[in-house]
């Protein structure tokens, strides 16, 4: 078990290290393309930082542990929203009223995809009747196809919004940009893309090991699949988002942080659909037992509420704080604790 922990920690270290650099590279690419940091966070950065979830979920799905895969995805979504609480603690000023309004669409897309995910999970409870005959095509679940289609459509709209925002105004003044110049801003665009690809490869390899070692740890400590996924996979695979968020928060690049959180939470649901393609026995939503399904639906519902709280604070430009933390962040932290308690209680009764 000691060697498993060592391998797990080494893989986590590589994931963290990659997360430190990927944010700045993505932001620089977004500015070079004239699409801004909000788009860079929602697309480029979210793809790179979601690779651990993608690789680890597909890995454990191929091994047949679909409950851990879905638990890891939902745990990652909820933990990503907790990252905003961490940023709120780091930044001495309120954060939500300083975020770009363009994040609202990406956040709503994530809520919609979570709702489709809940539908897919509930079809797994239906053994007979009309749903059992129309909710999958071959071994691919219809909810998975709906998720992929809705995500691709949303990406086209996000690109259009990014173009519109870039044409209306610059994201930062010349003085602010001068104070935030990094070595990546001085590199050629082609070199930036090569560096981005190299870091993506590092994340890919490390994430594969995370999935393998997390499964061994869950088995060794007899942890429930959903709870193990929400903790071991959900938290560790979100490490790139954490390291990137802390780095960007110190530079006050809040749009890059929020874009990463909302973009990752949308793309990570697509990861479940991708895992469904690799789980050839049946639809992935039919592979969970009743307790794991109920636990997952509750966690997905909590994620929708948490994301709704953030969007509400963003739209209302809420800046109310208690001591050094925003009211919205307090609710996020409480709901995160509730989600872990629920997943643990369901797992402990297996």
Q: What is the pLDDT along the chain (350 residues), one digit of tens a residue?
A: 788 888 888 887 887 777 667 766 776 777 777 766 666 666 777 777 777 777 777 777 777 778 777 887 888 889 889 889 988 888 878 888 888 787 888 889 999 999 999 988 888 776 534 444 445 554 456 888 889 888 888 878 777 766 666 555 444 444 444 445 566 667 777 888 888 888 888 877 887 777 677 767 767 766 665 566 566 666 666 777 777 777 777 777 788 788 878 888 888 898 888 888 877 777 788 878 888 888 888 889 999 999 999 999 889 887 778 877 888 899 999 998 888 887 777 655 54
CB of 70 within 8 A of CB of 286? Answer: no
CA distances from residue 234 to 89, 173, 194, 225 in whole angstroms, order as listed: 22, 37, 28, 12
Which two tokens mark 117? 């995910």
Tokens of 139: 């071994």
So what's the pLDDT on residue 293? Answer: 85
Torsion of CA 14, 224, 340, 118, to 10 degrees: 100
Number of DSSP helices (H) and strands (E) in the chain, helices first: 15, 4
Looking at residue 184, its pLDDT comes to: 64
Taking the C-alpha atoms of residue 236 and residue 254, their distance in angstroms, rounded to an integer, is: 22
Backbone angles phi, psi at 140, to 5 degrees: -100, 125
Q: What is the pLDDT of residue 39?
A: 64
Check residue 52 and give its pLDDT: 72
Q: Which of left, alpha, beta for 159 (phi over 0: left; psi -120 to 50: alpha)?
A: alpha
CATH fold of 2-348 reads A middle domain of Talin 1 (1.20.1420)
- Block residue for tokens 């592979």: 287
Question: Which sequence spans correspond to the domains of the chain?
Answer: 2-348
Distance CA 106, CA 26 (A): 17
Count Cβ atoms below 10 Å from residue 17 Cβ, excluding itself: 17
pLDDT at residue 310 in the model:
92
Helix (H) or strand (E) holding 242: helix 239-250
Beta carbons within 8 Å of 254's beta carbon, 6+ residues apart: 87, 91, 95, 98, 99, 248
């Amino acid at each position: 078990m000691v060697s498993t922990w060592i391998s797990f920690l080494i893989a986590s270290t590589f994931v963290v290290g990659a997360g430190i650099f990927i944010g700045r590279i993505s932001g620089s690419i977004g500015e070079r393309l004239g699409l801004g940091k909000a788009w860079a966070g929602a697309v480029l950065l979210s793809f790179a930082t979601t690779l651990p979830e993608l690789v680890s979920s597909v890995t454990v799905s191929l091994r047949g542990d679909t409950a851990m895969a879905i638990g890891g995805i939902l745990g990652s979504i909820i933990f990503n929203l907790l990252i905003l609480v961490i940023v709120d603690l780091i930044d001495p000023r309120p954060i939500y009223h300083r975020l770009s309004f363009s994040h609202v669409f990406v956040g709503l897309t994530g809520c919609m995809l979570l709702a489709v995910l809940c539908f897919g999970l509930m079809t797994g409870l239906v053994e007979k009747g009309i749903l059992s005959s129309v909710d999958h095509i071959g071994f691919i679940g219809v909810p998975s196809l709906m998720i992929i289609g809705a995500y691709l459509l949303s990406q086209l709209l996000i690109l259009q919004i990014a173009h519109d925002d870039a044409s209306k105004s610059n994201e930062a003044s010349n003085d602010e940009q001068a104070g935030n110049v990094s070595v990546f801003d001085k590199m050629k665009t082609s070199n930036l893309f090569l560096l981005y690809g190299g870091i993506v490869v590092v994340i890919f390899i490390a994430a594969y090991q995370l999935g393998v070692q997390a499964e061994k740890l869950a088995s060794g400590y007899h942890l429930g699949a959903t709870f193990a996924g929400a903790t071991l996979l959900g938290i560790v695979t979100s490490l790139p988002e954490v390291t990137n968020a802390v780095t960007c928060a110190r530079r006050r690049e809040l749009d890059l942080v929020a874009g990463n959180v909302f973009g990752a939470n949308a793309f990570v649901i697509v990861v479940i659909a991708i895992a469904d393609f690799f789980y050839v026995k049946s639809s992935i939503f039919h592979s969970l037992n009743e307790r794991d399904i109920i636990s997952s639906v509750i966690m997905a519902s909590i994620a929708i509420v948490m994301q709704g709280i953030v969007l509400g604070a963003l739209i209302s430009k809420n800046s109310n704080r208690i001591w050094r933390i925003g009211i919205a962040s307090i609710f996020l932290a409480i709901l995160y604790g509730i989600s872990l308690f629920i997943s643990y209680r369901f797992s402990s009764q297996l």
